Structure 1
Amino acid sequence: MFRRDYLMNMIEQMTEAVGQILQLKKELKHQEALLVIDEFLDKRFGISGKLIRSLSDKDLMAVLTTNGVIETDKIQAIAVTLKQESDLHAETGNDDASFVSGLKALQLFMRLSLVDAEPTITNPSKEAEELLERFKTYELPSYTKQLQAEWHEGEGQYDRAEDVLYELMEDGVTTSEELEAFYRRLLFCEDGKLEAGGLPREEVEHGLHALVSK
């Protein structure tokens, strides 16, 4: 009962804030909209907006974990807000700031998806996919790529996970042993799941053989 009331209150405040932001965007009052975001981040989550922006996505998840329970509703709200902030910066031509906010939102959405967060405010997987598409021309940081590979695997997008892992290995970030472990995990999957993930069993076996035979 308490959680339902808390969640309804959060959704109501989130809806109100997003409504304000969209109206200000429509009126081309982008700076005012950014101030709404600053105020929302400062007042709603029990930690300051400055801290939210300075913490890594992993550390932010840890801070918003109580007695082992991740406060996924709050994290979804934060990620949605940062995505809105990214949109605003993009519309004013501030691509660097847009990327920073969008990247943090992307990382949070992927982590939410990996912990199977209930989509109470938004669908983390769909949001992550949208942001990846938006940033497809950018060179993502290695840390984000590692999270992306894990997320693709969790989503059953095995061919995309493989592509990212090879990129990381070429960059010297991921070892061949980690790629080998990926292939060996896939060997436990059903054939239909591998086919749906774009990496049929014969391709998994071929990839594994190519690694271990070097």
Structure 2
Amino acid sequence: MFRSDYLMRQIEQLTKVVGEVMGLRKEQKPIQAQQTIDEFLKRNYGITLNLLRSLQVNELVKMFTQHGVLDTDRLTALAKLLQVANAPQSSGAKQAEKEQEDHHHNLLKALHLHLICANNDEPEPEIIKEIDAIISDLRSYVLPIEIGRLVWAHYEQQGRYAQAEDILFAMLVDDRSIGGMQIATLVEDGLSFYERLLALDNDQLDAGNLPRTEIEASLIALKKWQ
């Protein structure tokens, strides 16, 4: 991906800010950490951390889309800042619970932004690692269906077909537990997913840890959800 000198400077500044914030967090200085993030955001984006957390993802995407082109670099920078903002560190139970909720909210939004950017353009290896790390951090939570679908698309795009299949069936199970309103659409999209995979050669499927025989068995299992 081509990057201008301006964008490279932005990335360097972001890396420096993230390092400073993580250091301040370790030193138990959350106020200074938020001030550092706010200064960076005001200088480069004209917003604050509180505003960033309050804006919906679709609003952020609209803000950073010009002439139909999404500025994935700037959105990725926002996602990285959300990852290091408000990491839980309090010892008091009530405050710790609030910090955990805020951190969970930040991670979900960061993941959502990372996935939109990754599925819009060929992601760099470091972004794929960021996405994997957030998914791992959120493994004990149920992902919202919109984010789950983006994870599914991301795994397929990356040729990680077994993981794509896992998220499909996880979404089916999770949706059934809350009424099953999305099951029909998920099954329909799942059938299309397997059709795309069956059009690939065996080497590609094996590389994605989902051989053809397993796909055929999974198709039978998926149709039982109809």
Question: Would the aligned equivalents of 2:160 and 2:208 in 1 still touch at CA under 8 Å?
Answer: yes
* Distance change (3 Å), C-alpha of 1:205 and 1:111: same
Deviations 1:95-129 (A, max 9, x none): 1001001111111112222123454xx82211000
The answer (yes or no) to whether the contact 1:82–1:101 under 8 Å persists in 2 is yes
- Paired position in structure 1 for 2:13: 13
| SS in structure 2 at match of 1:168 | helix
- Matched residues in 2 for 1:117 and 1:57: separation? 20
TM-score w.r.t. structure 1 length?
Answer: 0.85
Correspondent of 1:100 among 99, 105, 123: 105
Q: How big is the shift at 1:183?
A: 0.8
In 1: Cα distance, 2:75 partner to 2:161 partner: 26
- What's the CA shift for 1:202? 1.4
What CA RMSD, in Å, does the superposition of the two structures yield over aligned residues?
2.3
Q: Deviations over 1:147-205 (max 9, x none)?
A: 21122211212122212212323312242212111111111122111112121111212
TM superposition score normalised by structure 2: 0.81
Deviating more after overlay: 134-143 vs 7-16: 7-16
2:65 and 2:222 map into 1 onto residues whose CA distance is 39
Q: Is the 8 A contact 1:194 1:200 kept in 2?
A: yes
Q: Measure the CA separation in 2 of the matches of 1:12 and 1:101.
A: 22
The worse-fitting range, judged by mean Cα deviation, of 204-213 and 99-108 is 204-213
Query: What is the count of residue pairs matched by the alignment?
Result: 208
Gaps of 5+ in 1: none
2:206 to 187, 195, 199: 195
CA contact (8 A) 1:65 1:71 kept: yes
Identity, % of aligned positions? 36
